Amino acid sequence: MSKNMPNDTRSPYDPDNIFAKILRGEIPCKEIYADDYALCFHDVNPQAPVHALVIPRNAYRSFSDFTTDASNEEICGFFRAVKQSVQLLNLEEDGYRLLANHGEHAGQEVDHFHVHICGGGSLGKLINKNNSSS
């Protein structure tokens, strides 16, 4: 289980978050790919024609936690699972976007590190400049 990052003021990992429950089989998902390092499944609230999530099997709250506390084997295994998922979703030829949010300002809704895979059509600009806060 991941530790809190130094200077990280967010609360510790919540083992009852929705992704932890999915990993334990308490909540079903539409699985795309699974291995020892990661689980990929369709997002229940898709923001693109194809929208999947890839989550590591162990408890990491953010990209920072993951890259600091995970073993090299876990990190490599996770990103290979992302690649495998992209292939299974048939997104390589036309393109796709990978996105990982960190914290409130980035819009992270679940405190379990995850990568969004989006594709299946034009995704537009990465950031809407008109949506900035004052």
Which domains are assigned to the chain?
19-94+101-123 (3.30.428.10)
pLDDT in tens, 12-44: 899 999 999 999 999 999 999 999 999 999 999
Q: Which of 52, 23, 47, 45 is nearest to 115 (CA)?
A: 52
pTM of the predicted structure, to 2 decimals: 0.87
Distance CA 64, CA 69 (A): 8
State the catalytic residues: 114
Q: CA-CA distances (angstroms) from residue 89 to 35, 92, 94, 124?
A: 16, 8, 11, 20
pLDDT in tens, 64-108: 999 999 999 999 999 999 999 999 999 999 999 999 999 888 888
Distance CA 36, CA 23 (A): 11
